[in-house]
Structure 1
Amino acid sequence: MLQDIVSYLACPHCARELALDGRTLRCPSGHSFDQAKQGYVSLLAGDAHTGTGDTAAMVAARSDFLAAGHYRPIADALAEAAAAAAPQGLVADLGAGTGHYLSHVLDALPAGPGSPGNPGAALDISKFALRRAARSHPRIGAVVCDAWRPLPLRDDAAALMLNVFAPRNGPEIRRVLRPGGMLLLVSPTHRHLGELVGALGLLSVDEDKQRRIEEKLGPYLTPGERWEVEFPLRLSAAEVRTVVAMGPSAWHTDPGELDARLAALPDPAEVTASVTVAAYHR
């Protein structure tokens, strides 16, 4: 809930601390931000932002697909890596979406003596996603923000950050990670959903993606362990449609052409899920 993370938040206008007054966040400079009835709060600095948030339809598709357990091995790998690190303090998920992975990680972290457990901050630009994230776990606070602008978190606020299929802002991740803190980053390999890319005309993953990620994060964080997580999926035609609808290809796919291509696929379709889980340290 929002009160679990308020001590880690910063005003997006002046970067000063925020305090919760009823359902409103206020800073000493007089800026205020009302909590939506769905549980999230928007800490966007003004109306302008640099990204396009996931639509309600994309969020619904992702929620259904994740709830069915198709990507459980990815969530388990994240949780195992997080539990091994045993962070004490805030877990912030940049590009948290529905809060699925953050919830899984929070459940895997043991609570210390006299502590209810780590608080979690779900950060995303999509209010549709954060409506779900705010309800996904009792220790998650959901915050609308832009990943490419200064994050509404205090310096050295997070013990652990997650970034799963989401934008990565190296300077800001370093700023909000405490010394000794860790980022766990999940990115697709070029084999991810490869059986569907050509067949359905989906966006492909660059074979050099991991190298490019390391080049962009290198000035700010030190790379650590890396794990390859690859597993087979057996997806019905409806589930294949959901995969398309929940990801970036949803913005670039013609519905009529997709229907025709889907009809040519075997049902169920054998598909490969393939991601890299990488640790980076401050």
Structure 2
Amino acid sequence: MGLPTAVVQALRCSVCGDAVELDGRALRCRRGHSFDLAKQGYVNLLHARVPSGTADTAEMVAARVEFLAAGYYAELAECIAERAAGAEPGLVVDAGAGTGYYLAGVLDRRTGTPGLALDVSAMALRRAARAHERLGAVVWNLWEPWPVASGSAALLLNVFAPRNGAEFHRVLAPGGTLIVVSPRGDHLRELTAVVDLLDVDSRKEERLDSGLAAHFELVSRQDLVRTLVLPPDDVRRVVRMGPSAHHPQRLARLDDVDEPVTVTASFLISVYRPRRLAG
């Protein structure tokens, strides 16, 4: 458990931007900046505290691990892996990887391929670091310039996570592939009857394309819509693993759920390629 060689080669010092090397249990650059690997196998390259309500908490991570282990989103993971199989060989970067569930599925289909999981939650990356033997996990804020070499990724994943189009484009190789997964407006809509969920933006698809248009062009798009029957405990898990969990006042009625709830799982899977930028 640690950082694969190919991941270390793609990383850059988050202080000075130089290349880094793995020296025992630490990453070091030639200027002497050093970052210790946590005992769980991930490395934190951040310099500032993460704002409250930004990173997944231990409780959110535990709920996600249990919900995903039940297989509810296994078909989504398979769809992502199928699209990833057509990408050029090379490093896979998952921007907002969480526990590494989707990245591990992609690596299973791409023999010998290394993967880099970026996420702002150290709690989530404790799990991601153990999700696959070829996966390296790094704590980072996706809105900041990434400590990753330009053009180092063949494939970039972004599943239910913030989208930094400029950094996506910089880190991807010219022939690289970007796969973005986002919830549709009707995702889990039935749960609004039992809990005060945060709304999914009805213009999310429009905002997705406009936010990436300067750097990427759309190649293909797929809707994946499935009906799930969730027992009460899994209703609680799916709510507590998402952004509504940062707002405890919205969860007041969640413990009252005592019957299974039939819900719609609705995802949009979009595949992009980088534009050639002028200059």
CA distance in 2, matches of 1:258, 1:269: 12
- How far 1:213 moved relative to its partner? 1.0
Which residue number in structure 2 is paired with residue 167 of structure 1? 162
CA contact (8 A) 2:194 2:253 kept: no
CA deviation profile, 1:97-145 (whole Å, cap 9, x unmatched)? 0000000011012x3xxxxx11000100111100010011000000000
The structural deviation recorded for 1:199 is 3.4
How do 1:265-276 and structure 2 match up within 5 A? 267-276=259-268
Alpha carbons 1:3, 1:20 under 8 Å: kept: no
Runs of 4+ off more than 6 Å: none
1:126 corresponding residue in structure 2: 121
- Contact 2:92–2:156 (CA<8 Å) still a contact in 1? yes
Which residue pairs with 1:90 in the alignment?
Answer: 91
Displacement after TM superposition at 1:196 (Å): 0.7
1:55 is aligned with what amino acid? T
Aligned residues with identical type, % of pairs: 51
Q: Deviations over 1:243-263 (max 9, x none)?
A: 110000111243433334x25
Question: 1: distance between equivalents of 2:183 and 2:171?
Answer: 25
Aligned-residue offset at 1:3? 2.9
What residue in structure 2 maps to residue 193 of structure 1?
Answer: 188
Q: SS state of the match for residue 197, structure 1?
A: helix
What secondary structure does 1:240 align onto? helix
Cα deviations by residue, 1:15-68 (Å, 9 ceiling, x for unpaired)? 111111111101112111010111000111x12446721000000000000011
Correspondence for 2:137 among 132, 138, 142? 142
> How far apart in 1 are the matches of 2:162 and 2:39?
27
Q: For 1:162 and 1:37, locate their aligned partners in 2 and report how far apart those are by CA, in whole Å.
A: 26
Q: 1:141 corresponds to which letter in structure 2?
A: G
Instruction: Provide TM-score, normalisation by structure 1.
Output: 0.92
- Matched with 2:8 is 6
Deviations for 1:226-258, whole angstroms, at most 9, x for unmatched residues?
011111111001100001100001112434333
Gapped regions of structure 1 (runs ≥ 5)? 112-116
Equivalent position of 1:224 in the other structure: 219
Cα RMSD of the aligned pairs, angstroms, is 1.3
**Structure 1 counterpart SS, 2:4:** helix
Amino acid at match of 1:249: S
Q: Given the two structures, how large is their TM-score scaled by the length of structure 2?
A: 0.93
Instruction: Please give the secondary structure, in 2, of the residue aligned with 1:123.
Output: strand
1:5-154 aligned within 5 A: 5-44=7-46, 46-49=47-50, 52-85=54-87, 87-109=88-110, 111=111, 117-154=112-149
- The Cα shift of 1:209 comes to 0.1
Contact 1:196 1:202 in 2 (8 A): yes
Residue 203 (1) aligns with residue 204 (2): no
Partner of 2:171: 176
Query: 1:29 corresponds to which letter in structure 2?
Result: R
